[in-house]
Amino acid sequence: MNKKKYAVLAAAIFLAAGGYLFYKKNSAKTQEPGARKVTVTEGPIQESIEATGSVLPLNRVEIKPPISGRIEKLLADEGDRVQSGQVLAWMSSSDRAAILDAARAQGPEVYKHWEDDYKATPILAPLSGAMILKNVVVGQTVEAGTVLYAMSDSLIVIAQVDESDIGHIKKGMNAKITLDAYPDKPIKGAVSDILYEGKNVSNVITYGVKVRPINAPPFLRSQMTANVSFIMRSKENAVLLSASAVREVQGGGKQVSVPGPDGKPVQKEVTTGIESGDKIEILSGLRPGDEVLLTRGKYTPQQGPQTSPLTMGGRPQNGNSGQAPKQRRQAQ
């Protein structure tokens, strides 16, 4: 072999060795930039559908007088619970009110006589429930169509659920009700009914879902704004990890990066379950207390360098600049 061939072979070996060292150096620098360790924990997690709604009566009944006249006594206030048939108020018809006013001017004995002889008209509760409105005062003159009281048999929450989520809502599903007025006092509830007719608001279709509080608190009021979480799945003692530490790989599997024996990242297969917010349940592959590397993006293995700084003339092989290839990342 002549000297020219030896020189070419030596240059090729030199370039190959230099390119390999250049790749290893940059790979070590860029494999896991910004990585930090997070610890696998144990705790509760739930997957839910969120919706907003209002507190409304299940059955709202307005109580109106059968005759025109004057209110003589009111026996129920807002918030009172009453039984069906209970007397809520007494009123005088227009004729009785005129007669009593005339009798009062003639003295107490005459007034007493007409009061006993001409009885007042009772206003009765049509059902058992809670009084949610008192609309009159004693001495007020009312017509036959005037609303005296409004009452409800019970208060529920009607939440508006987007049509894309309504298929996941089932009767009996557990729900958590949070009132804007009492954000630190959540109420347990359950789905009692799903309305059939949707509403179109700004081209968004929603369906009303009735949620009945399991134990309605005394501070519950009609027309309150409520936020409802419909609980699809939940677990009290789940193995939890930050969702950003888990990445999908080809084939549908999932992996995490864990510190290896020599300190370098090692990829580990995991199986996941419930995901909620920034937390995800780990079904297999990790245990509470394990450490996982958390990076700012999903790591994709780096391809080999397309050029070497030792290439003759410094020109890239594929038209790119002589810079080392950058690590590819996918937004989470």
What secondary structure, in 3-state letters, does 129-198 show? EEEEEECCCCCCEECCCCCCEEEECCEEEEEEEECCCHHHCCCCCEEEEEECCCCCCCEEEEEEEEEEEE
Using pLDDT thresholds of 50, 70 and 90, give the confidence band for residue 265. confident
DSSP sequence for 15-45: HHHHHHHHHHHHHHHHSSTT-EEEE-EEEEE
DSSP state of 222: T
Percent of the chain scoring above 90 in pLDDT: 53
Cβ neighbours for 75, distance < 8 A, ≥ 6 positions apart: 87, 88, 89, 90
Instruction: Determine phi and psi for 108, rounding to 5 degrees.
Output: -65, -35
Q: Using alpha carbons, select from 199, 273, 267 the residue that is nearest to residue 232.
A: 273
Domain segments of the chain as ranges:
48-57+154-235, 60-152
- Give the tens place of pLDDT for each residue, 206-223: 999 999 999 989 899 989
Among residues 95, 78, 84, 186, the alpha carbon closest in space to that of 127 is found at: 84
Q: Does residue 26 carry a pLDDT above 90?
A: no
Share of the chain above pLDDT 70, in %: 78
In this structure, which amino acid lies at residue 120? Answer: A
Predicted confidence band of residue 266 (pLDDT cuts 50, 70, 90): confident
Give 123 or 36, the one with higher predicted confidence.
123
pLDDT tier for residue 249 given thresholds of 50, 70 and 90: confident
The token pair that represents 200 in the structure block: 């179109």
* CB 101 within 8 Å of CB 69: no
**pLDDT confidence tier of residue 20, bands split at 50, 70 and 90:** low
CB atoms within 10 A of CB 245: 23
Which pLDDT score, from 0 to 100, does residue 324 have? Answer: 37
pLDDT digits (tens, 9 = 90+) for 90-102: 999 999 999 999 9
The stretch 18-29 carries a mean pLDDT of: 49
Radius of gyration, CA atoms only, the chain: 38
Which fold would CATH assign to domain 48-57+154-235? Answer: Elongation Factor Tu (Ef-tu); domain 3 (2.40.30)
pLDDT of residue 223: 92
What is the CA angle 105-106-110, rounded to 5?
120
Of 310, 316, 242, residue with least CA distance to 11: 310
Highest mean pLDDT among 4-18, 123-137, 254-268, 294-308: 123-137
- Looking at the DSSP bridge assignments, the partners of residue 164 are none
**Could you read off the pLDDT of 123-150 as tens digits, one per residue?**
999 999 999 999 999 999 999 989 999 9
Q: Which residue did the predictor score with more confidence, 53 or 27?
A: 53
Neighbours of 114 (CB within 10 A): 15
Average pLDDT across the chain, whole number: 82
144's CB contacts (< 8 A; 6+ apart) are 64, 65, 66, 67, 68
Q: Does position 329 have pLDDT exceeding 80, yes or no?
A: no
Question: Does the domain made of 60-152 have the CATH classification 2.40.50.100?
Answer: yes
pLDDT band at 295 (very low <50, low <70, confident <90, very high): low
Residues in the chain: 332
Give the pair of three-digit tokens for residue 160: 């508006």
Element housing 213 (H / E): strand 204-213
User: Do the Cβ atoms of 54 and 212 come closer than 8 Å?
Assistant: no
Q: What is the reported pTM?
A: 0.60
Tokens of 194: 């799903």
Report how far residue 120's alpha carbon sits from residue 106's, in angstroms, rounded to the nearest whole number.
20
Q: What CA–CA distance (Å, rounded) separates 298 from 247?
A: 6
**Terminal Cα-to-Cα distance of the chain (whole angstroms):** 57
Residue 237 DSSP one-character state: E
Mean pLDDT, residues 113-129: 92
At 167 the pLDDT is: 93
Q: Quick one: average pLDDT of 65-72?
A: 95
Average pLDDT over residues 291-307: 57
Average pLDDT over residues 45-72: 93
Mean local confidence (pLDDT), 49-78: 94
- The answer to whether 157 and 189 are in contact (CB under 8 A) is yes
Q: Which residues pair with 299 in a beta bridge?
A: 329
**How far apart (Å, rounded) are the C-alpha atoms in residues 184 and 180?**
9
